[in-house]
Each structure stands twice: as C-alpha cells, then as structure tokens.
C-alpha cells in the first residue's frame, strides 16, 4: 500500500469518527464570491438585487441596533455597487457600525475612506466631527485594540496622526483649530516637547484671526518649551526659545489674564539660564580657563542680576580679574 493510500484511509477514518457541523454555511454569489452565513439564515433574508434596497437593509438594521447585519449589508452595497449613488452612504454606515461595535480605530478609518473617496458627500462635516470625537477618546486614554478586538495599548503617535487627518480633511473647519491643538497635547503626553511646540505654533500661525485659539496656542507653545527646558540641562537655547515665545505672547495679547503667569515663568527661565551659565563658568574656572569663566559669570550677572547666584558671580569676577591681571 503506497503512502497516498494510507493518507486517504486515515482521512476517511477521521471524517467517520469525528463528525462535525460547520458553524456557518458557505454561500457562493457570482457577484461577491464565497460568503459565510450563520446557521439557519439565508441570503434572501438580507441580500438584495439593487443598491438602494441593499442600503435600506443596512440602515434599517442599524436603526434596530443590529450592527452586525447592518455592517454586512453596507459592505455588500459598497462592494457590489461601488460607483452607485448609494455607495457613499453605505461607506458611512460602515463607520457607524464599527462605532456601535466599539471598534473606534476601524470606524475612524472607515470614515476616512468616505471623505477621501466621496468628498462631496452631504454630511462631510458630521463625519469629520465623528473622527474628531474618536481621536479625542484616544487622547483621553482609550486604548487601541490588539488584533482589532482586545484593548491593549495607548499610542499618542496614532492619536496625533488621527487629529492631523482631521485637520487635513478640513483645515479651516470649525473643529480644525482644536484638532491642531490636540496634536500638541498628544505630543506633550509623550514628552515630545519640540513636536508639541511645532503643533501649537502652527495653530497660532494658521488661526491667527481667531484670538482665543491663537493666544491659547502661543501660550501652550511657551509652556511646552518651558517643560523641555526643565529636562535639558545646560541647554540655554531651549530656555531662550521659551522666553522668546512668552515675550511674543505678551506683546501680541497684552490684556490676556495669563500675562502675569508668563512674566513669572520668564523670570524662572532666566534664573534657570543663569544657573546653567554659572555651572559652565565653574567648569571653566576649575580648568583654569579664566577668560571663559569670566564670560559666563558675566552672563549670570546679566540674566538674573538680583539673584544670589549673581552676587556670587560678581565675587568670582573680581577674583578672576585679579588673576588675569585686569583692572
């Protein structure tokens, strides 16, 4: 008996000993190929021969909270009649079904497909707002799903990308300014302060005609730079950027109630700059590089003249001048 004969006999034995029932019927349709149906169902119950009728099945099912049937019917409308007048609404219903199933990432992508394929759809702004709301849920801590089913991880990269698509879909829509601001917020959560600053500065520049948005964006850009300055030891440029941003904020919005806080933060940043310069001056002095030490001690005196560090710097300057023979 050859090898193939043995395999066939074993297969027949398995089929006889372990009978099974398929959990779903396999149905073939010449327009769609093979599809599965749940036991007891028939294609006639939900499949239709016209796009309009198929879309009605999807809408009725969704209205009755049967998102699974609605999703099948909407998908079939798009697949079988992609160029029909009913395809845009069917693609929109796919997104609605995924939202009903709490599959927000899939819903967002389905809505994005609507806006890209059918930009003249009547409810464009509503769809964009739904995308904004989905992205906001992820910004608020909702987790992305592993394999599309298991809530597993948060991702501010993906969240920022979602908001970026909302802005791109309608850069001057009602929700675009806040979407742009939320890109900055997402970047701050992941401590990517430079990316946050860029997002806020873009909001301030693009929406400069909207005072509330522009002032908020510029102020938050300063706050993000301030946060970065606290993590960037001896990096004078970061503190300088924050000071520059807060200075611009006060000049552009002089009556803003946050002006006093901006002034306090500038003073704090100047003190931080002075501290950095003081440490650099000490480094040069320790290595007997007197001229370099003098430069940075003078910088301490200029940046934070009323501080204790400035007083100490002045003492060191007097001593160093004697060492290098200056009057």
**DSSP per-residue codes, 114-157:** HHHH-TT-TTHHHHHHHHHHHHHHHHTTPPEEETTTEEEE--HH
Domain-located, residue 179: no
256, 288, 311: which is the final residue of a domain?
A: 256
Domain-located, residue 177: no
* Contact partners, residue 295, CB within 8 Å, separation at least 6: 281
Residue 20 has a pLDDT of: 41
pTM exceeds cut of 0.85: no
Residue 232 has a pLDDT of: 62
What band does 38 get if pLDDT is binned at 50, 70 and 90?
A: low
- Please compute the mean of the pLDDT values over residues 268-272 and round it to a whole number: 90
Using one digit for the tens of pLDDT, what is the confidence trace for 182-219?
999 999 999 999 999 999 999 999 999 999 999 999 99
Residue 9 has a pLDDT of: 56
Residue 37 has a pLDDT of: 54
Domain-located, residue 295: yes
Lowest mean pLDDT among 10-14, 86-90, 144-148, 182-186: 10-14
Residue 5 has a pLDDT of: 55
What band does 8 get if pLDDT is binned at 50, 70 and 90?
A: low
33 strand-pairing partners? 29
- Please compute the mean of the pLDDT values over residues 125-144 and round it to a whole number: 97
Nearest residue to 242 (alpha-carbon basis) of 77, 9, 261, 63? 261
What band does 272 get if pLDDT is binned at 50, 70 and 90?
A: confident
Domain-located, residue 246: yes
Using one digit for the tens of pLDDT, what is the confidence trace for 69-98?
999 999 999 999 999 999 999 999 999 999
Domain-located, residue 6: no
State the chain's maximal CA–CA distance in angstroms: 111
Nearest residue to 156 (alpha-carbon basis) of 179, 140, 133, 134? 140
The better pLDDT of the pair 188, 23 is held by: 188
> In angstroms, how far is CA 59 from the centroid of its own chain?
31
Residue 276 has a pLDDT of: 86
- Domain containing residue 313: 276-327
Count of structural domains, the chain? 2
Domain-located, residue 267: no
Specify the 3-state DSSP secondary structure of 248: helix
**Hey, what long-range contacts does 313-316 have (CB within 8 A, 24 or more apart)?**
313/278, 313/281, 316/281, 316/285
121 pLDDT above the threshold of 80:
yes
Do residues 282 and 248 both lie within one domain?
no
Name the average pLDDT for the chain.
88
What band does 233 get if pLDDT is binned at 50, 70 and 90?
A: low
Domain-located, residue 12: no
Q: Angle 259-286/290-303 helices, nearest 10 degrees?
A: 160
- Please compute the mean of the pLDDT values over residues 238-259 and round it to a whole number: 95
**How far is the C-alpha of 78 from the C-alpha of 74, rounded, in Å?**
6
Q: In terms of DSSP H, where are the helices of 26-103?
A: 51-63, 67-80, 87-100
Q: Are 294 and 320 in contact (CB under 8 A)?
A: yes
What band does 235 get if pLDDT is binned at 50, 70 and 90?
A: low
The DSSP bridge pattern shows strands 25-29 and 144-146 to be unpaired
Residue 12 has a pLDDT of: 52
289 pLDDT above the threshold of 80:
yes
287 pLDDT above the threshold of 70:
yes
- Please compute the mean of the pLDDT values over residues 311-316 and round it to a whole number: 93
Do residues 288 and 250 both lie within one domain?
no
Do residues 228 and 284 both lie within one domain?
no
Domain-located, residue 213: yes
The better pLDDT of the pair 23, 212 is held by: 212
Specify the 3-state DSSP secondary structure of 25: strand
* Contact partners, residue 32, CB within 8 Å, separation at least 6: 76, 79, 80
């Amino acid at each position: 008996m050859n090898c193939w004969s043995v395999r066939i006999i074993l297969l027949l034995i398995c089929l006889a000993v372990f009978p099974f029932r398929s959990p779903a019927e396999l149905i073939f349709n010449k327009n769609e190929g093979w599809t599965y149906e749940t036991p007891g169902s028939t294609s006639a119950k939900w499949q239709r021969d016209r796009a309009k009728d198929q879309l009605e099945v999807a809408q009725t099912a969704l209205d009755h909270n049967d998102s699974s049937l609605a999703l099948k019917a909407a998908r079939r409308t798009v697949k079988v009649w992609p160029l029909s007048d009913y395809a845009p609404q069917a693609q929109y219903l796919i997104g609605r079904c995924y939202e009903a199933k709490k599959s927000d990432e899939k819903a967002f992508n389905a809505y994005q497909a609507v806006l890209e394929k059918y930009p003249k759809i009547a409810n464009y702004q509503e769809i964009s707002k739904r995308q904004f709301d989905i992205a906001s849920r992820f910004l608020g801590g909702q987790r992305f799903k592993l394999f599309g089913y298991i809530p597993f991880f948060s991702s501010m990269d993906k969240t920022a990308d979602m908001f970026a698509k909302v802005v791109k879909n309608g850069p001057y829509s009602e929700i675009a300014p806040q979407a742009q601001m939320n890109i900055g917020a997402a970047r701050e959560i992941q401590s990517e302060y430079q990316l946050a600053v860029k997002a806020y500065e873009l909001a301030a520049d693009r929406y400069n005609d909207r005072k509330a948005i522009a002032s908020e964006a510029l102020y938050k850009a300063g706050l993000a730079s301030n946060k970065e300055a606290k993590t960037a030891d001896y990096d004078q440029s970061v503190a300088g950027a924050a000071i520059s941003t807060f200075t611009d904020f006060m000049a552009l919005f002089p009556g803003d109630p946050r002006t006093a806080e901006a002034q306090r933060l500038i003073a704090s940043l100047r003190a931080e700059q002075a501290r950095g310069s003081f440490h650099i001056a000490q480094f040069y002095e320790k290595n007997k590089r007197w001229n370099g030490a003098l430069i940075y001690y003078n910088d301490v005196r200029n940046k934070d003249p009323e501080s204790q560090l400035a007083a100490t710097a002045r003492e060191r300057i007097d001593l160093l001048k004697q060492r290098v023979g200056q009057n």
